[in-house]
Amino acid sequence: GAVVSQHPSRVICKSGTSVKIECRSLDFQATTMFWYRQFPKQSLMLMATSNEGSKATYEQGVEKDKFLINHASLTLSTLTVTSAHPEDSSFYICSARDSGQGWGNTIYFGEGSWLTVV
């Protein structure tokens, strides 16, 4: 089946620094990728929709200058948390849509990334 790889799976960074999380579609092209944040015992919260070659679409309340998203190729989207603070500590998950297939059965999730800001 289709695979989405997310890296790193765990990262610890110091407050004030930036950290980048990668989301790669390994065996399909993805013009659209999605970034979610998940707090403990809660559902996935969509942060932004990443579109290859264009600007990401951010959900209301998500700071676009803090959570930088780049989707420079059909297989890679990156989320950079800038000037990280302890409250940014969370579980981040990406998903990618297989552009070559019809809608509805072609969205695959990465393994997620734990970010801890100390």
Partner 1 sequence: AQTVTQSQPEMSVQEAETVTLSCTYDTSESNYYLFWYKQPPSRQMILVIRQEAYKQQNATENRFSVNFQKAAKSFSLKISDSQLGDTAMYFCAFIPNTGNQFYFGTGTSLTVIP
Q: Which residues bind partner 1 (CB under 8 A)?
A: 32, 34, 38, 41-44, 46, 49, 91, 93, 95, 103-105, 107, 109, 111-112
CB of 116 to partner 1, least distance (A): 14
CB of 30 to partner 1, least distance (A): 13
CB of 111 to partner 1, least distance (A): 5
CA distance 60 to 40: 21
Residue among 51 and 82 whose Cβ is closer to partner 1 = 51
Strands 10-13 and 67-73: unpaired
Nearest CA-CA partner of 68 in 90, 98, 47: 47
CB of 83 to partner 1, least distance (A): 25
CA distance 15 to 8: 18
Whether the CB-CB separation of 96 and 33 falls below 8 Å is answered with: yes
Residue among 17 and 101 whose Cβ is closer to partner 1 = 101
Partnered with residue 32 across adjacent β-strands are 51, 97
